[in-house]
Amino acid sequence: MNMKIIIAGIIIVAALVFGAISFVDTNVEYTDFQSAASTHKKVQVKGAWLRDRDASFDGTKSQFSFYMKDDNGKEVRVVLDGAKPNNFELAEAIVVKGRYQDGYFHASDILTKCPSKYEADPASVKKTL
């Protein structure tokens, strides 16, 4: 009976450790590029794609790279493993998740905020009283 209790205890402790590690990995905080460069944690940075700067896809490495400006105005090269996200050209804002390393931001994921097709055009809305 003691062996069953020990095994059950080990399983419970392992599940708690696994849950804590999973929570820490998914709990990604928002920051800017300057703070991202000083930390080695995975972070999220919100900003805008710099359309006038070079954006390209390297087929040999399967990497998409572009330049982005965060909300504080710092411009950084962003490299994503994989292809360009859908609707990237339509994005009003971009959130990149990843780590700052080797002088650029290495993104593991990109979220795009596109204009809503459900918002009315302010010029076409009539004022009613």
Read off the pLDDT band of 126 (50, 70, 90): low
Q: What is the pLDDT of residue 106?
A: 92
**What is d(CA 129, CA 122) in angstroms, rounded to the nearest whole number?**
16
Structure token digits, residue 44: 């999220």
Predicted confidence (pLDDT) at residue 30 exceeds the cutoff of 60: yes
Higher-pLDDT residue of 31, 120: 31
Q: What is the pLDDT of residue 123?
A: 61
Q: What is the pLDDT of residue 1?
A: 61
Predicted confidence (pLDDT) at residue 46 exceeds the cutoff of 90: yes
Q: What is the pLDDT of residue 55?
A: 87
Question: Are β-strands 29-31 and 56-58 bridged in parallel, bridged antiparallel, or unpaired?
Answer: unpaired
**What is d(CA 44, CA 52) in angstroms, rounded to the nearest whole number?**
23
Tokens 């493993």 belong to residue: 81
Tokens 């339509």 belong to residue: 90
Residues with Cβ within 8 Å of residue 37, at least 6 apart in sequence = 100
Higher-pLDDT residue of 117, 83: 83
Boundaries of every domain in the chain = 30-113
* 62-116 per-position pLDDT tens digit: 899 999 999 899 999 999 988 888 888 888 889 999 999 888 999 998 988 877 6
Q: Is 5 helix (H, G, I), strand (E, B) or coil?
A: helix
Tokens 């302010």 belong to residue: 122
Residues 30-113, CATH architecture: Beta Barrel (2.40)
Under 8 Å between Cβ of 87 and 94: no
